[in-house]
Amino acid sequence: MFANRSVFAWCLYDTGHCAFATVVMAVVLPVYYQNVVAGGGSWALSSWGYASSVALLLSALLTPVVGTYVDGRPLKKKFLLAFAALGIAASAALAFSGQGTWLYSLSCMVLGTVGLSVASVCYDALLTFVAPPGTMDRVSTLGYGVGYLGGGVLLALDMILIARFGEPGVKMSFLSVALWWSAAAAVLTAWVPEPPAANNAPSGLRQTLRALAHSWTELKQYPEALRFMVSFWLYNDGIGTIVRMAAVFGAGLGISQNHLVGAMLATQFVGVPFALVFARLAEKSGSKRAVMIALAWYTIVAVGAMFITQDWHFWLMAVAVGMVQGGSQAISRSIYASMLPAGRSGHFFGLYNVSSKFAGIVGPALCGFVAQATGSLRLAVGVIALNFIAGMAILAGVDVDKGRARVAAQ
């Protein structure tokens, strides 16, 4: 598969996204924010949760407009790189954070998350052009697997910096994300061709907004994809909340920094082989069944997290998440793409991302509210299980084969 240079570069780029998602969103910055910037306590978790929701709200407003605008235009790579540059700059700017700079640090996190989210729309839209026929599940999961591996390697290197230099090492880790992401973007720029222009692309912002409004109506022509997207709204909110809140949650429970970082690093490396396992499971048992298994597993993890009392419990939960995280998201992406026409990938992935971002506002905000209202971090995490249960209930009614056949017949 990697003999195809475009596939290799597309997969490699995900290491840049995973570097930001791991170091900035999931591990180093949350722990640094909890222990140093915000000074600990339930307020640190609630403020982080609220800021995460703001980031997702801004992303939800931008992603559909960008996705629709680039659809049919030779602009997917250009917009990807522009918003990647925003995320890269925000990562580098975090090197100037410190004790008491909670507003500055959260602002950098929000801007970086917006850059990552909008760049992801263009990145996902390239999948249908990069993947050879019949390989979409495999290429999608390879992207997640390579991304997890790259993000894990960078996190391991950053842990060496932090262990050696302390707080200056934390700031160097933010700079390393900027460099890592820049390198991945450079390879994609060189080796992934820009998809050709289409004749029916909207000509300006007003036409883009009209096309976006029309797209919701058009999506009704693909009822299985629409039903799947609603399911995805729910369970992806749960997945995203776990990613964003796990380190802050663990730090709030008194899990030591070494155990927090080590466990999150284990998540990354466990995610690499299991992403490939899910690709094989999807081929043999069906994509939908693979996702259902992952969601049942996530439900167990969310409930189990309420009973964490020792360091090894956190390790166990981290490994359990790593077993399903990359595979579930990769297969979800390929299921959605397979039930929609390839020529409008940017258009529909804009909807896919905006729906998940709006839904994703709820989880972090709910965690923050529950933590603030009850003072219980355990209850704040336990409520995430409801997302997975609701997502499974709707996904059970999605006929993926029917959705794919509908597109193939067009």
Question: Mean pLDDT per segment of 10 residues, for the chain of length 410 residues?
Answer: 80 94 89 85 79 86 80 83 97 96 96 94 86 81 85 91 93 98 95 76 60 70 86 87 81 82 84 82 88 95 91 93 86 84 64 63 78 80 90 94 81
pTM: 0.75
Contact between 15 and 147 (Cβ < 8 Å): yes
Q: Which residues touch 206 (CB under 8 Å, ≥6 apart)?
A: none
Q: Which pLDDT value is given to residue 351?
A: 67
Go through 19-31 and write b for each residue having 16 or more CB atoms within 10 A of its CB, e for each that does not. Answer: bbbbbbbbbbbbb
How far apart CA 373 and CA 297 sit, in angstroms, is 28
Q: Is 133 exposed, middle or buried (0-12, 13-18, 19+ CB in 10 A)?
A: exposed
Joined tokens for residue 149: 């591996």
φ, ψ for residue 286 (rounded to 5)?
105, 145
Helix, strand or coil, per DSSP, at residue 100: coil
Q: How far apart (Å, rounded) are the C-alpha atoms in residues 376 and 209?
A: 43
What's the pLDDT score for residue 145?
A: 82
Rounded Cα–Cα distance for residues 353 and 372 (Å): 29
The whole-number pLDDT of residue 205 equals 58
Residue 10's pLDDT is 94
pLDDT score recorded for residue 96: 97
- Residue 71 is predicted with a pLDDT of 73
pLDDT at 63: 81
The Cα 354–Cα 139 span in angstroms is 23
Say how many CA atoms lie within 13 Å of 163 toward its Cβ.
10
Instruction: Return d(Cα 175, Cα 154) in angstroms, integer.
Output: 11
Q: Provide the 10 A C-beta neighbour count for residue 199.
A: 5
Residue-level pLDDT at 110 = 97
pLDDT value, residue 119: 94
CATH class of 5-192+208-408: mainly alpha
In this structure, which amino acid lies at residue 203? Answer: S
The runs of H, that is alpha helices, within 305-399 are 311-338, 345-360, 362-374, 377-382, 385-395
User: What amino acid occupies position 12?
Assistant: L
Report how far residue 357's alpha carbon sits from residue 115's, in angstroms, rounded to the nearest whole number: 13
Q: What does 112-148 look like in DSSP terms, one character per residue?
A: HHHHHHHHHHHHHHHHHHHSPTT-HHHHHHHHHHHHH
pLDDT of residue 24: 93
Predicted local distance difference test score (pLDDT) of residue 321 = 92
| DSSP annotation of 304 | H
End-to-end CA distance of the chain: 28
Residue 344's pLDDT is 62
CA dist 301 and 48 (Å) reads 22
Is 376 strand, coil or helix?
coil
